[in-house]
Structure 1
């Protein structure tokens, strides 16, 4: 990757003006929700770019009137809804730093993160303060608590209704501009500090990738607290796409919405795409007009790619997979078409982004590994975060010069394509790649909604399976599907809802191992498997 240039160093992607710039550029483009905004429920479900821009301006004025000032940390932790995004943009508008904490975090985890932030502002709601946070001494951890509703022990944002609009405040491109958190799959999440410059360096290549579908209606079911959401939003608003935001991904709820709006762009989490396989032949053909699917956060199963692309009636639909993490943004990409999906290797996650990212494989000594040789995946990117807040040593440990250790094992072929094997922490000696076997099982057993292979008490591979409609696992079919695979323990059948997951529906494998080794869990035989 070429060295950084001063011109690139000075560029910035700022959240505050996102909706206002889009409204000025494209006018009254429609934005559709599946539930009303908590900050203004009376507006209903059918909104526009200019209306959302006005809401951001209004919320920014209220926050300034409440006392929020530039560079201060403002935590947004509330029930899942699009107003998380509007609040983040409003905080950014006045030069403060939005800190986005997932609605799915447990109360004690939120408490520890608030403590790490050293008396931030908190924007929340009644559901959080009377629910997960009820036993947390929030008042002693934050400067002040603001609420989008009538939550107890909080100042309602409505108190500042009618506050004068405030002029935008723009921080230096290398100052902290956004704080998100890591997935927390192995413990408490880390707080990732982004700046406008590194965010701009992630945005530019994604704009180039979005050019072929510019202006198409986009349907999104994504975590509103993940940095990926804001870059995707930046691309879609830049090109003037009508937007459909989905908070309830269940096919019974999402299917009719998709059928009515017939999007040309669909992005969600890989596990949601597995769920939406049911929509491939659903009434109203909800996926028939999709030209481009996009998947990030985790690798996607080949079976799912094939079903999604097969559901589209467009002449040449594709699915784009991005490989990366919160700390780096996307560092590699892979395109699938109907033809390539039929012979896809789910472990191939693509190539680096020319001019913006580089990828290498390092051996145990930190040297570059030969093609085909497995090792640690490392990335060099202009989009890397500034630091982990309050954990600089942990951040430094993941750096080898300018190379960032992704925490994954993989290899590159002779043409430079990157293949993912497993997370380092998830590897099992008896299995070459848990992810590869999971792909095989998902392709062989269409009834599976999820399969996760984790180490058991004696480091033996234990498959945990979830079936569609909670049907019992057919053990005869299971034995046929696994006959040529490495020996594994008996399958454990769980409900999908019981799997510990992150806000992006990424399975917490380490937590599953703790659950398996810490308590007895039924096998498929005792759960009624045939």
Structure 2
């Protein structure tokens, strides 16, 4: 089965007899009412079948339609992290509306800006989001605001989702393949995120269908057990939702919290053969790989997107598998484009060198065959640079989203003829392989922050994460994240020996680092917090 209309996705899967069972680390926020909804998935339930999910989507579509969702309208979703983000999105699509997925990690002020840009007819949210900053009115951005979760004292002008239960399913509303299907936002590492509008053509035809191909070794199989730990507000997961169930694996486990103690229970109940997670989730769950009875013992494929993953993390997970040749697949791309390249790592490729030299995994692989073209250009003249020389990366892909919502000028500024400006600095070798250096806004000529981070993490076993911040007129500032916020000076001296000149490190705990909803470090915010300045080495013109 290949996906097409996300509004009837689970109906089609149910009609096809898809046997996949879904397991959650906690119940959906969409189903808190103890009175039930006609399916087994009510309060406290963490296991679902495909027919139950299909009914839940239809019932949610009925509630959204009663709230005003319909063809041409927008439904904004911002709530606690869970996979029901995508179920609500499927329900909105079923009504003919366009879902807008927004992370609850966004600051209230930034969230208000994005809601004003998308002007939703319906806002689906929770009391935690609405109550974070009384000075920021989120309710006023939509005609109807639906509240999920426990019912209690609701803010004025809001309606609890339960109050609209029982309204009839409006039935599917097919749309033109070039019409807006879903709006997602970029990570927002440098400020207010951009709203990216995808269509059925870009998201389903060119991204999702490509992933449904039965690729040997890495494609999902019917005997697989899939574990996903992600930020479900972001664009990757709506594509994942369109793909993973159609491959009909035996089990799909969904982790919303990224906490080792709860993820461990889910992993042990259904030991996965395929794992997909945010880079930050891989870091946080890494202690589980050190156990003798590793819950990752049967994993054959690890999948990572969104951000850089450093060698020690990859090495830990590959070693935790009892399979002969487990593979780590690293995808590089953007919300606007989907994946542009894939790189594959093995135990051998990330093994420590015999001479003790640090390992780096900045090689991003080659462009997706027949789907993507890349070139490196001078950031000032936009003329191609020689093979192997650092340049600004431009791409061509049919999966490119057609617009930014409310920021057409910003979209136009990133187009260069028929090419799209990724805003990344990298090298492209003669064989087409890409080696990422940095985001342009963070790049210091002659130096790669990402490569320095690779090398530091490879040498500092106590580091959860290393972040190197480039600055103008002075040495780059290394930030070392440890469990307890301390670092032995002798360890730092050994780790930094032989590297380019770095300032004295700042040592912090995990929670002291400002992050996006996907766990990416907000480098500008971190730099400002530590130095009082946000001035970086790049121009930031294409962020």
Whether the aligned pair in 2 keeps the contact of 1:205 and 1:353 (CA below 8 Å) is: no
Deviations 1:299-334 (A, max 9, x none): 211221121111101222111110001011101111
Supply the distance in 2 between the matched residues of 1:80 and 1:311 (Cα, whole angstroms): 27
Shift of 1:479: 0.6
Whether the aligned pair in 2 keeps the contact of 1:12 and 1:173 (CA below 8 Å) is: no
Shift of 1:131: 2.4
Partner of 2:121: 120
Partner of 2:540: none
Whether the aligned pair in 1 keeps the contact of 2:182 and 2:197 (CA below 8 Å) is: yes
Supply the distance in 2 between the matched residues of 1:474 and 1:22 (Cα, whole angstroms): 55
Partner of 1:152: 155
Choose from 233, 253, 260 the match for 1:244.
253
Describe how 1:196-345 pairs up with structure 2 within 5 A: 196-199=200-203, 200-208=205-213, 212-215=219-222, 216-241=224-249, 242-282=251-291, 284-342=293-351, 345=360
> 3-state SS of the aligned residue for 2:348?
helix
Normalising to structure 2: TM-score of the pair? 0.89
Partner of 2:366: 351
> 3-state SS of the aligned residue for 2:406?
coil
> 3-state SS of the aligned residue for 1:341?
coil
Choose from 390, 399, 408 the match for 1:392.
408
Partner of 2:141: 141
Shift of 1:206: 1.9
Choose from 427, 445, 449 the match for 2:443.
427
Whether the aligned pair in 1 keeps the contact of 2:486 and 2:508 (CA below 8 Å) is: no
Deviations 1:31-81 (A, max 9, x none): 111111122135211111111111001100121122211110110011222
Normalising to structure 1: TM-score of the pair? 0.92
Whether the aligned pair in 1 keeps the contact of 2:360 and 2:455 (CA below 8 Å) is: no
Partner of 2:513: 499
Shift of 1:286: 0.6
> 3-state SS of the aligned residue for 1:340?
coil
Cα 1:46–1:12 change in 2 (3 A) is closer
Partner of 1:165: 169
Describe how 1:16-95 pairs up with structure 2 within 5 A: 16-41=7-32, 42=34, 43=42, 44-95=45-96
Partner of 1:379: 395
Deviates more, 1:342-351 or 1:238-247: 342-351
Shift of 1:119: 4.8
Whether the aligned pair in 1 keeps the contact of 2:3 and 2:243 (CA below 8 Å) is: no
- Structure 1 residue 179 corresponds to structure 2 residue 188: no
Supply the distance in 1 between the matched residues of 2:310 and 2:161 (Cα, whole angstroms): 44
Alignment RMSD, CA only? 1.9
> 3-state SS of the aligned residue for 2:350?
helix
Whether the aligned pair in 2 keeps the contact of 1:176 and 1:196 (CA below 8 Å) is: yes
Shift of 1:253: 2.0
Choose from 415, 421, 425 the match for 1:405.
421
Supply the distance in 2 between the matched residues of 1:207 and 1:302 (Cα, whole angstroms): 29
Shift of 1:110: 1.1
Supply the distance in 2 between the matched residues of 1:63 and 1:516 (Cα, whole angstroms): 45
> 3-state SS of the aligned residue for 1:339?
coil
The gaps in structure 1 that reach 5 residues or longer are 1-10, 520-530
Shift of 1:298: 1.1
Shift of 1:460: 2.6
Supply the distance in 1 between the matched residues of 2:503 and 2:391 (Cα, whole angstroms): 27
Q: How many pairs were matched up?
A: 506
Partner of 1:5: none
Describe how 1:450-461 pairs up with structure 2 within 5 A: 450-456=465-471, 458-461=473-476
Supply the distance in 1 between the matched residues of 2:179 and 2:427 (Cα, whole angstroms): 35
Supply the distance in 1 between the matched residues of 2:291 and 2:237 (Cα, whole angstroms): 27
Cα 1:210–1:95 change in 2 (3 A) is farther
Deviations 1:368-402 (A, max 9, x none): 22211110011111111111111111101111112
- Structure 1 residue 488 corresponds to structure 2 residue 495: no
The gaps in structure 2 that reach 5 residues or longer are 35-41, 354-358, 534-543
Whether the aligned pair in 1 keeps the contact of 2:3 and 2:208 (CA below 8 Å) is: no
Cα 1:126–1:139 change in 2 (3 A) is closer
Shift of 1:341: 2.9
Whether the aligned pair in 2 keeps the contact of 1:267 and 1:294 (CA below 8 Å) is: yes
Partner of 1:360: 375
